[in-house]
Amino acid sequence: MKMLNNDLKQQLKQVFGQLTNDVTIALFTDGGNCQTCAETLAFMEELEPLSDKLHLERYDTIGNRDLADRYHVTMVPSLVLLDAERTYHGIKFNGIPAGHEINSFISALLEVSGNVSPVSEDLAEEVSAFNKPINIKVLSPSVVPTVQRPYKRHISSL
């Protein structure tokens, strides 16, 4: 199932023209037990040919546990973004970055490639004051029903 029409592909090619350096998209799946892994793989396979700076690699969390642990992969599908030197900067997407999430995904690809957005001095100063790791998780509307389903069953059984 194709997710991108030709107009969108052309627009993405233009945006991906702003990639400064190569980016590896490391897709982690679980060997076929995941509801959205095939969809996510198909989507990434549509994106990869839109720029010679995008490189898709596929890993199974079972056979590549050390690598999954290195990138803190605890859910599948997970998309880990690596820069041209294969350095992980902590940017990872869980689930398929489609719909509105594609905007964040594209911005992250640009950032990891080295096309960094300017930051005001005030904001840079505030961020530099953080003295411990910060773990930010964002649930998008397309993910919420999938996440809620097991909890609804649990709550209704109480």
Domain count, the chain: 1
Asked whether residue 103 is domain-assigned, the answer is yes
Asked whether residue 134 is domain-assigned, the answer is yes
The enclosing domain of 48 has a CATH number of 3.40.30.10
Contacts of 152 (CB under 8 A, 6+ apart): none
Per-residue pLDDT reduced to its tens digit, 105-143:
999 999 999 998 888 999 889 888 888 887 777 665 554
Tell me which of 16 and 139 has the higher pLDDT.
Answer: 16
Q: Which domain holds residue 130?
A: 6-156
Question: Is the confidence at residue 1, as pLDDT, over 80?
Answer: no
pTM listed for this prediction: 0.79
Asked whether residue 1 is domain-assigned, the answer is no
Asked whether residue 89 is domain-assigned, the answer is yes
Q: Which residues of 67-95 are buried (b: 16+ CB within 10 A; e: fewer)?
A: bbeebebeebbbbbbbbbeeebeebbbbb
pLDDT value, residue 140: 56
Per-residue pLDDT reduced to its tens digit, 63-107:
999 999 999 999 999 999 999 999 999 999 999 998 888 999 999
Question: Is the confidence at residue 145, as pLDDT, over 90?
Answer: no
Asked whether residue 120 is domain-assigned, the answer is yes
pLDDT value, residue 158: 38
pLDDT value, residue 10: 96
Asked whether residue 95 is domain-assigned, the answer is yes
